[in-house]
């Protein structure tokens, strides 16, 4: 699949790595004043409704990698988002008419605070953080993406999960009229993903609402998606409309579709191959030699890191677990 710049993206709209990294130095941080999920605060985060609107009050996170991010074009035109099609350029082409606002999320299950909340109710009590994370996909390609979001652990605390909550289950929007890829039978809809409560409480996962300092594009999961940087990309569910605190482990979408290929944990593990290809090495999108065709096959190969390089922060979550059987 060639990585190409769509004809209707103007050169002026593409942020270069150099300009972006310089601009990050001038982003001002804002303080979080208050923590009520329902009431919100005057100083809380606001996510504009306009496409490509700048996000304000964004803090730089200590968890970011020092690697240079991929270009805005790489990140927004080479995507997995089956709700809008299975080809890598389908999400960009098929999501432009999608309207992600207004948006609400239903919270249910074993938690003290449940109900249906507007996106603003969930985001506003928190300060937005920029986290430059590696993204590793099971198809053996990777990117580095400057996400903007809020820590999942902080959101989980706001809902006050009870002791019976062992898993956090996410579902995406189920709307065949607005998401044409759902008319296919490639997956059972809606898309379902889940984390253990311990994984969700780790400081690394975020609920992303933007990238490159701007509102999250449709093709990348607008208006809100999960990012779990030590797992393969299919765990980072997009277009979230429900969060359920469950006592029992659910069967997630790819487990249902291909249980011998996609396990519940989906930790990046170079020692456990996909049945149809090796996971020991990866191709970094955008790394093809100057002048070469920008395709996944032209990109440079590099060793895959255990837990995608985040082992120091997350390896303890799997102590005693056989990661070959629990893949």
pLDDT tens by residue, 299-311: 889 999 999 999 9
> pLDDT value at position 229?
98
Confidence check: pLDDT of 3 > 60: no
User: Predicted confidence band at 315 (pLDDT cuts at 50, 70, 90)?
Assistant: very high
% of the chain beyond a pLDDT of 90: 82
Burial of 323 (0-12, 13-18, 19+ CB in 10 A): middle
Confidence check: pLDDT of 317 > 50: yes
Q: Whose CA is closest to 134, among 204, 182, 209?
A: 204
Confidence check: pLDDT of 202 > 80: yes
Distance CA 142, CA 299 (A): 10
> pLDDT value at position 297?
63
Confidence check: pLDDT of 69 > 50: yes
User: Predicted confidence band at 119 (pLDDT cuts at 50, 70, 90)?
Assistant: very high
**235-244, pLDDT tens digit by residue?**
999 999 999 9
Q: Whose CA is closest to 111, among 251, 245, 207, 264?
A: 245
Q: What one-character-per-residue DSSP string does 11-38 give?
A: GGGPPPHHHHHHHHTTPPP-------TT
Domains of the chain, residue spans: 11-318
pTM for this entry: 0.87
Q: What is the mean pLDDT of the chain?
A: 88
> pLDDT value at position 295?
54
% of the chain beyond a pLDDT of 70: 84
> pLDDT value at position 318?
98
Q: Which fold has domain 11-318?
A: Sulfite Oxidase; Chain A, domain 2 (3.90.420)
> pLDDT value at position 13?
39
Distance CA 303, CA 88 (A): 23
> pLDDT value at position 20?
43
**18-40, pLDDT tens digit by residue?**
444 444 433 332 222 233 454 44
């Amino acid at each position: 699949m060639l990585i190409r710049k769509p004809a209707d993206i103007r050169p002026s709209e593409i942020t270069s790595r150099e300009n972006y990294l310089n601009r990050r130095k001038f982003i001002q941080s804002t303080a979080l004043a208050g923590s009520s999920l329902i009431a919100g605060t005057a100083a809380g985060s606001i996510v504009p409704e306009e496409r490509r609107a700048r996000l304000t009050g964004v803090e730089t996170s200590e968890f970011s990698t020092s690697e240079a991010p991929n270009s805005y074009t790489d990140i927004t035109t080479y995507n997995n988002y089956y709700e809008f099609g299975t080809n890598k350029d389908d999400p960009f082409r098929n999501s432009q008419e999608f309207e992600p606002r207004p948006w609400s999320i239903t919270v249910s299950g074993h938690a003290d605070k449940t109900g249906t909340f507007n996106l603003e109710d969930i985001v506003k009590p928190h300060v937005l953080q920029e986290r430059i994370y590696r993204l590793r996909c099971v198809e053996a390609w990777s990117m580095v993406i400057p996400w903007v979001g809020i820590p999942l652990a902080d959101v989980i605390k706001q809902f006050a999960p009870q002791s019976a909550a062992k898993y956090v289950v996410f579902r995406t929007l189920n709307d065949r009229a607005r998401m044409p890829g759902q008319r296919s039978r490639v997956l059972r809809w809606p898309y379902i993903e889940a984390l253990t409560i311990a994984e969700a409480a780790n400081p690394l996962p975020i609920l992303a609402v933007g990238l490159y300092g701007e509102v999250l594009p449709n093709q990348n999961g607008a208006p809100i998606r999960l990012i779990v940087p030590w797992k393969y990309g299919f765990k980072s569910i997009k277009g979230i409309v429900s969060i359920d605190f469950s006592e029992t482990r659910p069967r997630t979408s790819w487990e249902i579709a291909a249980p011998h290929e996609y396990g519940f944990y989906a930790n990046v593990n170079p020692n456990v191959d996909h049945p149809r290809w090796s996971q020991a090495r990866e191709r970094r999108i955008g790394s093809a030699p100057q002048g070469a065709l920008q395709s996944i096959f032209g990109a440079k190969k590099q060793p895959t890191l255990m837990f995608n390089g985040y082992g120091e922060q997350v390896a303890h979550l799997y102590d005693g677990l056989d990661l070959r059987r629990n893949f």
